[in-house]
Amino acid sequence: MRLANLNGRATLVLDEGTIDVEKASGGRFSSETDTLVGQLDYVRAWLDEAKPDVIDFATPEHVMRDPGLGPVINQPGQVFAVGLNYRTHAAEMGLALPTKPMVFTKFSSSLAGANANFPIVSAKTDWESELVVVIAKRGRHVPIDDALTYVAGYCVGQDLSDRELQMLGSPAQFSLAKSYQNFSPFGPWLTTTDVITNPNILSISCEVNGVQYQNSNTSDMVFSVAQLVSYLSSIVEIRPGDIMYTGSPSGVGQGHKPPLFLVVGDVVDTTIEGLGSLHNVAVEPGFQESSRP
Ligand code: ZN
Per-residue confidence of the chain (293 residues) as pLDDT tens digits?
Answer: 999 999 999 999 999 999 999 999 999 999 999 999 999 999 999 999 999 988 889 999 999 999 999 999 999 999 999 999 998 888 888 888 999 999 999 999 999 999 999 999 999 999 999 999 999 999 999 999 999 999 999 999 999 999 999 999 998 899 999 999 999 999 999 999 999 999 999 999 999 999 999 999 999 999 999 999 999 999 999 999 999 999 999 999 999 999 999 999 999 999 999 999 999 999 999 876 654 43
Q: Which amino acid makes up residue 175? A: S
Q: How far apart are CA 259 and CA 236, in angstroms?
A: 37
* Dist. CA 89 → ligand 1 center (Å): 10
Q: How far apart are CA 232 and CA 48, in angstroms?
A: 34
* Dist. CA 191 → ligand 1 center (Å): 21
* Dist. CA 61 → ligand 1 center (Å): 26
* Dist. CA 233 → ligand 1 center (Å): 20
- The 10 Å Cβ neighbour count of residue 4 is 28
Q: Whose CA is closest to 275, among 53, 6, 13?
A: 13
Residues bordering ligand 1, an ion, CB closer than 5 Å: 128, 159, 248
Q: How far apart are CA 55 and CA 63, in angstroms?
A: 13
* Dist. CA 57 → ligand 1 center (Å): 35
- The 10 Å Cβ neighbour count of residue 229 is 27
Q: Are 71 and 113 in contact (CB under 8 A)?
A: yes
* Dist. CA 163 → ligand 1 center (Å): 11
Would you state the pLDDT for residue 290? Answer: 53
Q: Whose CA is closest to 246, among 78, 71, 40, 104?
A: 104
Domains of the chain: 2-63 (no CATH), 79-283 (3.90.850.10)
Q: Are 78 and 16 in contact (CB under 8 A)?
A: no
pTM of the model: 0.96
Q: Are 260 and 95 in contact (CB under 8 A)?
A: no
Would you state the pLDDT for residue 287? Answer: 75
90-126 residue pLDDT tens = 888 888 899 999 999 999 999 999 999 999 999 999 9
Q: How far apart are CA 30 and CA 108, in angstroms?
A: 22
* Dist. CA 170 → ligand 1 center (Å): 18
Would you state the pLDDT for residue 54? Answer: 87
Coil vs helix vs strand at 60? helix
Would you state the pLDDT for residue 92? Answer: 87
